[in-house]
Amino acid sequence: MSFSFEILHKSSDTGARLGKMHTGHGDVETPAFIPVGTQATVKSLTPEELGELGVQIILANTYHLYLRPGHDVIARLGGLHPFMHWDGPILTDSGGYQVFSLSKLREISAEGVTFQSHLDGSKHLLTPEKAIEIQEALGSDIMMCLDECTPYPATHTESLESLELSTDWARRCKERHEPGRGALFGIVQGGMFQDLRAQAAEALIDIGFDGYALGGLSVGEPKELMIGVSAATLPLLPDSLPRYVMGVGTSEELVKLVALGTDMFDCVIPTRNARNGQLFVRGGSINICNAQHRDDQGPVEAGCPCYTCRHYSRAYLRHLFMAKELLAYRLNTIHNIHHFMTLMREMREAIRQERFDQFKKDFFSARR
């Protein structure tokens, strides 16, 4: 599958970029937000609904699909695209973060990471080569190198050891990756230390990847620190290739990071928070559980054209949520995905029209 990236326009008053990724399953306009479809599904929505909401690309998880139903099963069935009935681009993460966050027992070595399945307790060894094998079997359009997600807080020494391991694993991923089997992105680690981030970026650029991501962020550090690390690291990455900040996703973070030149994001916030009753609106969010919505006949957001807002009141959505009806999760998720897709589309248009700086000012003014 071919892959390329082009920059269509650069903002003259910020670092924001308008671009387009070309993949074997279609183009992706950037900046782009990638909804998380961990187990080959964005929870509660069909692929057709995702397309109608303006979703261009989704993320699926290597760890979960390796354990269930198995990458070999998916490969025999033609790959992830026909398996889940999604004909657009798919990005798969390496599974490294899930190994470190979900596994009851794990042992890290130069070879890889031995972990215990959170499903049945069985033991597995995930190596860089295995991570690429799994992702190629899934038929990913964009694959991620196996890395160790450096925890927060971590000392300089701990962060250095972690990034050296991740850099070695990245080199082995590149050697195992078959050209033409999808793009491969490197992941910059280094904790919260800028000298280590710079070291990691330089090493990955020397290896050579189709795009570069910032990993190890949104792991418990203050938001200001995350933005600061991103601001210092993003300019070190190749200007001509996609820049991806992983696991980040509040509206405020997206706007700040787009202004710094980020092209791609993924996060569970719009979907997970929808299932917890948080609905995003211009200027912030509402909690549909609150009693103030019990008799409210208005939509989640006045003027919102999404399916949920066109047909259902806050009162009904609150009733569904309090009753734990499955429809609540679907309708809430539809609205939140629409909100995030609208935000990204408006940012792309603002960059195109050379008014992104004003867009950013207006965005944060509405929140004040």
Identity (one letter) of the amino acid at 205?
A: I
Answer yes or no: is 365 within a domain: no
Mean pLDDT of all residues in 90-112 = 88
The answer on pLDDT for 97 being more than 90 is no
> 28 and 37 in contact (C-beta within 8 Å)?
no
Burial of residue 340, with CB atoms counted within 10 A of its CB: 0-12 exposed, 13-18 middle, 19 or more buried: buried
pLDDT digits (tens, 9 = 90+) for 8-32: 999 999 999 999 999 999 999 999 9
- Are residue 250 and residue 304 in the same domain, yes or no? no
Domain termination residue (choose one: 217, 247, 267): 267
Domain annotation covers residue 366? no
Query: Confidence band (pLDDT; 50, 70, 90) for 103?
Result: low
The pLDDT assigned to 353 comes to 98
* pLDDT value at 307 more than 90: yes
Task: Judge whether 93 lies within some domain.
Answer: yes
Residues 330 and 254 in one domain: no
Q: Tell me the two tokens of residue 119.
A: 């499903």
Residues 56 and 170 in one domain: yes
Q: Are residues 251 and 279 located together in one domain of the fold?
A: no
367: in domain: no
Residue 104, pLDDT above cutoff 90: no
User: Cα-flanking dihedrals φ and ψ of residue 340, to 5°?
Assistant: -70, -40
Q: What is the mean pLDDT of residues 317-334?
A: 98
Q: Calculate the CA 170 to chain-centre distance.
A: 19
Q: Residue 208 is part of a domain; what is its CATH number?
A: 3.20.20.105
Residue 102: the pLDDT is 76
Kindly report the average pLDDT of the chain as a whole number.
97
Does residue 280 share a domain with residue 225? no
| Out of 117-126, 162-171, 296-305, least confident range | 117-126
Residue 265 pLDDT greater than 90, yes or no: yes
User: What pLDDT digit, counting tens, does each position of 178-227 carry?
Assistant: 999 999 999 999 999 999 999 999 999 999 999 999 999 999 999 999 99
The answer to whether residue 364 is domain-embedded is no
Residue-wise pLDDT for 129-172, tens only, equals 999 999 999 999 999 999 999 999 999 999 999 999 999 999 99
Neighbouring residues of 18: CB distance < 8 A, sequence distance ≥ 6: 7, 8, 9, 10, 29, 30, 31, 348, 351, 352
Say whether both 198 and 258 belong to one domain. yes
Mean pLDDT, residues 329-345 taken together: 98
At 296 the three-state DSSP class reads coil
Identify the pLDDT of residue 99: 83
List the catalytic residues: 93, 266
Where does a domain end: 239, 267, 295? 267
Residues 6+ apart with CB under 8 A from 143: 91, 92, 94, 132, 135, 136, 177, 182, 183, 184, 185
Q: Are residues 117 and 178 in the same domain?
A: yes
pLDDT in tens, 339-357: 999 999 999 999 999 999 9
At 101, is the pLDDT very low, low, confident or very high (cuts 50, 70, 90)?
Answer: confident
Q: Are residues 282 and 154 in the same domain?
A: no
More confident residue, 1 or 207: 207
Predicted pLDDT of residue 203: 98
Work out how many domains the chain is built from and give that number: 2
**Residue 368 maps to a domain:** no
User: Among the three residues 233, 267, 301, which one is the final residue of a domain in this structure?
Assistant: 267
293 close to 314: Cβ distance less than 8 angstroms: yes
Predicted confidence (pLDDT) per residue in 46-56, tens digit: 999 999 999 99
Same-domain check for residues 82 and 157: yes
Statement to judge: residues 222 and 75 lie in one domain:
yes
Say if CB 242 and CB 263 are below 8 A apart: yes
**Which pTM does this prediction carry?**
0.97
Mean pLDDT across the stretch 100-125?
88
User: At a CB cut-off of 8 Å and minimum separation 6, what does 183 contact?
Assistant: 1, 3, 23, 141, 142, 143, 210, 211
**205 within domain boundaries:** yes
- Claim to verify: residue 312 and residue 164 sit in the same structural domain: no
- The band of 38, judged by pLDDT with boundaries at 50, 70 and 90, is very high
For residue 45, the enclosing domain spans: 4-267
Is the domain of 103 the same as that of 125?
yes
